Amino acid sequence: MHELPVVESLVQQVRAEAKRLGVAGKVAVVHLKLGALTTFVPAAMTFYFKALTKGTDLESARLEVEEVPVVGACRSCGAALTLEGLPFVCAACGSPDLEMKSGRELVIESLEVRDDGPE
């Protein structure tokens, strides 16, 4: 259920960005990057997005969630690594001393807007 306040923030930001860019009412797709380490569920996010935008200027917009893998580097041997699951250790040398570079993203990446002439 904690997706709801997050999607509320998302909708507010998308609306503000669309207004700033002069494309209010024309947003077709919202591309969101979501790190695999977060606890947010993409299906819940798209569900809330639909519910929160119904009857608004974003009603025809769709939320597309792209999962970002957990990528890091080993501080011991320098190996680059992508973690598919636990444990959090380097596959090359077994060290737990890892620097995580991605996996916690919750970022509005881009907006796709319909090109249907000036407002």
List strands edge to edge, sheet with 80-83. Answer: 80-83, 70-74, 98-100
- Least distance in angstroms from the C-beta of 38 to another protein: 7
The residue type found at 100 is M
- Per-residue contact string for residues 48-77; x = within reach of another protein by CB under 8 A: ---------------------------x--
- Please choose, from the candidates 21, 14, 6, the residue with its C-alpha nearest in 3D space to the C-alpha of residue 57: 14
- Least distance in angstroms from the C-beta of 118 to another protein: 13
Query: CA-CA distance, 119 to 103, in Å (whole number)?
Result: 38
> Of 51-59, 61-69, 85-93, which segment contacts another protein by CB under 8 A?
85-93
Query: CA-CA distance, 109 to 21, in Å (whole number)?
Result: 15
Structure tokens at 93: 């040398």
> Of 9-17, 47-55, 58-66, which segment contacts another protein by CB under 8 A?
9-17
Give the residues lining the site for another protein (CB under 8 A). 1-2, 4-6, 9-10, 13, 17, 21, 23, 31-32, 37-40, 75, 86-89, 96-98, 100, 104-113, 115
